[in-house]
Chain A
Amino acid sequence: MYIYDKYDHDILSQRVAQFRDQTRRYLDGSLSEAEFLPLRLQNGLYVQRLAPMLRINVPYGMLNTTQLRRLARIARDYDKGYCHVSTRQNIQYNWPDLEQVPDILAELAEVEMHGTQSSGNCIRNITSDQFAGTAPDEVVDPRPYCEIIRQWSSFHPEFAFLPRKFKIAISGSELDRAAIQVHDIGLQLVTDNNGEIGFKVIVGGGLGRTPVIGSVIREFLPRLEVLNYLEAILRVYNLHGRRDNKFKARIKILVRAMGADVFAEAVEQEWQQIKESPSTLRDEDFDNAKAFFTEPAYETLNDDAVQTALEQQSADNRAFSKWLERNVRPHKVAGYAAVTLSLKPTGIAPGDITDGQLEVIADLADQYSFSEVRTTHEQNMVLADVKKSDLFALWEAARSAGFATPNIGTLTDIICCPGGDFCSLANAKSIPIAEAIQRQFSDLDYVYDLGDLDLNISGCMNACGHHHVGHIGILGVDKKGQEFYQVMLGGNAGNNASLAKVLGPAFGADDMPQVVQKVVDVFLENRTEEELFIDTYQRIGITPFKERVYAKAS
């Protein structure tokens, strides 16, 4: 994991001092509300429906246990004893006092954390694969690249007042787990025929009001040039992105308006001018970054032996076996596995976690996973390096702490934004809808039988709940002061990214569990043996679903 040196610490402590002074000037009236707005946003502070919300970056989802414990302490001392894992791998506090935010940021800086650029019209936290460094399908570990780009984007003098927010995601594996096609920039690490590492560059994807799958503007960018090339993209966007209408200000609108080819050409021209600048990376710069992400001290284990033992435990204990099936993933190192801790038990807002639970996870990570934890954009947490022989003990501990719900990747592992209960942008509540659906599908065997099924809920068209890329997507809408829910089907966030189609007119909150049930019924009646929901949907199309859901009662 990346460790700060004196430079990083100095920069961050100066940032805390800067924001402390800005907050003071705001509170004494010398900084206006409008002027304070982008400054507080770029330190993570929103003003929400009920209280401020503070968003803390978790760079590419990596946390150590010291940081986890500090997050727990902050939840206890400054908030109501819990926090929330966001759909961009970040941590959010819902109840801090504005006056105390500089103190919170100072506490975070001590453990190398911050809210810098976690909101506002700037380059946001870099997100990535939660299984980075451990996944068997990994081509290149993305974390050193994430860190290099994190540093480049932090306090970038030219790009702090962009037309709109700007999100970058990086994937280094065959299977895209970072949703790179729906980011402002998606970077796919690839190797060329000579074994040279580079990036496939995707630009102009995004969800929100106008969902778009990004366009590939360069098939292979040598890694040495990545900062120059990013600078070229951002410069073209900063100068040409629309600023007259905030709903048309994202880079996706610019790419569409210019055409991806013309946009790519503009970037190419700018890049030719700044190519080989001092920001060009050297092999040694990658080596330096990689040195922070070396493998932990894995033991040499006999996979066959532990596998046999696991199968025995699994045969003896059905609940454990389900958990193994859903929440445990293969690891590139023999005898190890990656475990997802579910933050989606029924009745808890998806992604919410208490101070006590954070500390339990820290203890488990210290005991079983080299003191590191990852957050996921599906709003769960991961212990990425667990010995298979420890899985049973870990499962028992996780179960008693409440995060062993064996539902990862299933219908009840719902991605859900905070919605109208917290967020001032929301048109409708989302958490109660998630809970009602979880209750409708409380039979775990039934849910397993459905297989992988992504259900994503957003409380407004800003799409923090990624509803466009859910196999089933739900969007909260406001009609004359009443909350309604639009259902869409067929979205997909991975390699074959696709955007969901609207099923038809919206429903009231009370109807939602039955609507989802009918959609699932159509799937069950039509699927072939091997099909997952998304496969059946793609084969039979939206009509059978529409007919069932909107059928007149006979």
Chain B
Amino acid sequence: MPKLVKDGAITEDQWTLLDKPDDSPEAVVIPAGCVIVPLSVWQAQKDSLTHRSDIGVWIDSDESAFDLGEDASTLPLVAVNFPGFMDGRAFSTARLLRERFHFGGELRAIGAFIRDQMGYLSRCGVNAFQFEDESIDLTEAMKSLNDFTEYYQASVNQPQPLFRRRSA
């Protein structure tokens, strides 16, 4: 079973990622077990999927947290995709999911992000990291989560900016 980094530890991935359909998201057959479906499939089949507790949704970089909206809080997992690691929209999407839509489940980065982005992603609320490249040494990669111990801005894991904590 493939592995991923979750909550600062290496764990086995229980979830299957479903690719985006070329067309007809309503016709996609969702297998049993824990499945992360594309946003379009969720939107098309929401009525029949809401009763399942093993459905997650992934949001591509050209899709928006607003398209999932309040649904997020009913899901155990939401993933944000990096088609390329330079595409930084997922940072905003992740933060919106946590701060605007109060998503409390597993927020997973998927796709082509690199380990050097893990610190920033974590501060945007991502707590699970599934590298596209399965050959990556996760023990090594995880070290990047600890590059910094202090930050200037408010973020998902530290809502108080440094200027407020400094003067406290």
| A residues apposed to B, CB below 8 Å | 5, 7, 10-11, 14-15, 17-18, 22, 31, 35, 38-39, 121, 148, 151-152, 154-163, 227, 235, 238-239, 243, 273, 277-279, 281, 284-285, 288
Range of interface residues on B (Cβ < 8 Å):
35 or more
Are B155 and A7 within 8 A (Cβ)?
Answer: no
Are B166 and A7 within 8 A (Cβ)?
Answer: yes
Give A415 Cβ to nearest chain B Cβ, in Å: 31
Q: A5-B166, A151-B163, A158-B95 are in contact. Are A11 and B150 (CB under 8 A)?
A: yes
Are B124 and A157 within 8 A (Cβ)?
Answer: yes
Collect the chain A residues with CB atoms within 8 Å of residue B123's CB: 157
B85: which of A11, A35, A279 is its contact (CB, 8 Å)?
Answer: A35
Give A388 Cβ to nearest chain B Cβ, in Å: 38
- B147 proximal to A (CB < 8 A): yes
Collect the chain A residues with CB atoms within 8 Å of residue B164's CB: 278, 285
Q: In the complex the two chains form, what is the Cα distance from A239 to B124 in whole Å?
A: 14
Are A11 and B152 within 8 A (Cβ)?
Answer: yes
Cross-chain pairs A/B with CB under 8 angstroms, 6 sampled: A151-B163, A152-B152, A155-B153, A159-B88, A239-B92, A273-B100
Are A160 and B167 within 8 A (Cβ)?
Answer: no
| B residues apposed to A, CB below 8 Å | 64, 85-89, 91-93, 95, 100, 114, 116-117, 119-121, 123-124, 147-155, 159-164, 166-167
Are B89 and A121 within 8 A (Cβ)?
Answer: no
Q: In the complex the two chains form, what is the Cα distance from A155 to B93 in whole Å?
A: 18
Q: Name A151's closest neighbour in chain B (CB-CB).
A: B152
Please indicate which of the listed interface residues B123, B124, B151 has the most CB atoms of chain A within 10 Å of its own CB: B151
Q: In the complex the two chains form, what is the Cα distance from A243 to B62 in whole Å?
A: 10
Collect the chain A residues with CB atoms within 8 Å of residue B116's CB: 22, 31, 35, 39
Further 9 A-B residue pairs, CB within 8 A, beyond A5-B166, A10-B149, A238-B88: A10-B150, A18-B148, A152-B152, A158-B120, A160-B120, A239-B89, A239-B92, A278-B154, A288-B167
Are A7 and B162 within 8 A (Cβ)?
Answer: yes
Collect the chain A residues with CB atoms within 8 Å of residue B159's CB: 277-278
Give A30 Cβ to nearest chain B Cβ, in Å: 8
Q: In the complex the two chains form, what is the Cα distance from A162 to B89 in whole Å?
A: 8
Q: Name B99's closest neighbour in chain A (CB-CB).
A: A274
Are A121 and B91 within 8 A (Cβ)?
Answer: no
B149: which of A14, A273, A284, A285 is its contact (CB, 8 Å)?
Answer: A14
Please indicate which of the listed interface residues B91, B119, B120, B121 has the most CB atoms of chain A within 10 Å of its own CB: B91
A285: which of B93, B95, B163 is its contact (CB, 8 Å)?
Answer: B163
- 6 tightest A-B CB contacts, nearest first: A161-B88, A157-B123, A157-B120, A18-B147, A151-B152, A158-B91
Collect the chain A residues with CB atoms within 8 Å of residue B85's CB: 35, 161
Collect the chain B residues with CB atoms within 8 Å of residue A285's CB: 163-164, 167
Q: In the complex the two chains form, what is the Cα distance from A281 to B153 in whole Å?
A: 12
Collect the chain B residues with CB atoms within 8 Å of residue A156's CB: 152-153
Give B18 Cβ to nearest chain A Cβ, in Å: 24
Q: In the complex the two chains form, what is the Cα distance from A158 to B162 in whole Å?
A: 16
Q: Name A37's closest neighbour in chain B (CB-CB).
A: B86
Give B138 Cβ to nearest chain A Cβ, in Å: 14
Are B64 and A239 within 8 A (Cβ)?
Answer: yes
Q: In the complex the two chains form, what is the Cα distance from A156 to B161 in whole Å?
A: 11
Collect the chain A residues with CB atoms within 8 Å of residue B114's CB: 35
Are A7 and B150 within 8 A (Cβ)?
Answer: yes
Collect the chain B residues with CB atoms within 8 Å of residue A235's CB: 92
Are A158 and B92 within 8 A (Cβ)?
Answer: yes
Give B52 Cβ to nearest chain A Cβ, in Å: 30
Give B114 Cβ to nearest chain A Cβ, in Å: 5
Q: In the complex the two chains form, what is the Cα distance from A15 to B119 in whole Å?
A: 12
Are A161 and B86 within 8 A (Cβ)?
Answer: yes
Q: Name B156's closest neighbour in chain A (CB-CB).
A: A157
Collect the chain B residues with CB atoms within 8 Å of residue A162's CB: 88
Q: Name A148's closest neighbour in chain B (CB-CB).
A: B163
Collect the chain B residues with CB atoms within 8 Å of residue A22's CB: 116
Give A289 Cβ to nearest chain B Cβ, in Å: 8
Give B152 Cβ to nearest chain A Cβ, in Å: 4
Collect the chain A residues with CB atoms within 8 Å of residue B87's CB: 161, 243
Q: In the complex the two chains form, what is the Cα distance from A52 to B149 in whole Å?
A: 30
Collect the chain A residues with CB atoms within 8 Å of residue B119's CB: 157
Q: A152-B152, A156-B153, A278-B154 are in contact. Are A38 and B163 (CB under 8 A)?
A: no
Collect the chain B residues with CB atoms within 8 Å of residue A239's CB: 64, 89, 92-93
Give A162 Cβ to nearest chain B Cβ, in Å: 6
Q: In the complex the two chains form, what is the Cα distance from A480 to B147 in whole Å?
A: 48
Collect the chain B residues with CB atoms within 8 Å of residue A154's CB: 152
Collect the chain A residues with CB atoms within 8 Å of residue B88's CB: 121, 159-163, 238
Are A14 and B163 within 8 A (Cβ)?
Answer: no
Q: In the complex the two chains form, what is the Cα distance from A158 to B64 in whole Å?
A: 15
Q: In the complex the two chains form, what is the Cα distance from A14 to B123 in whole Å?
A: 16
Please indicate which of the listed interface residues A7, A31, A288 has the most CB atoms of chain B within 10 Å of its own CB: A7
Are B153 and A157 within 8 A (Cβ)?
Answer: yes
Give A398 Cβ to nearest chain B Cβ, in Å: 38
Give B24 Cβ to nearest chain A Cβ, in Å: 26
Collect the chain B residues with CB atoms within 8 Å of residue A31's CB: 116
Q: In the complex the two chains form, what is the Cα distance from A474 to B127 in whole Å?
A: 51
Give A487 Cβ to nearest chain B Cβ, in Å: 37
B124: which of A18, A158, A227, A284 is its contact (CB, 8 Å)?
Answer: A158
Q: A14-B148, A22-B116 are in contact. Are A278 and B161 (CB under 8 A)?
A: yes
Q: Name B83's closest neighbour in chain A (CB-CB).
A: A243
Q: In the complex the two chains form, what is the Cα distance from A157 to B100 in whole Å?
A: 17
Give B110 Cβ to nearest chain A Cβ, in Å: 16
Collect the chain A residues with CB atoms within 8 Å of residue B124's CB: 157-158
Q: In the complex the two chains form, what is the Cα distance from A277 to B92 in whole Å?
A: 16
Collect the chain B residues with CB atoms within 8 Å of residue A14's CB: 147-150
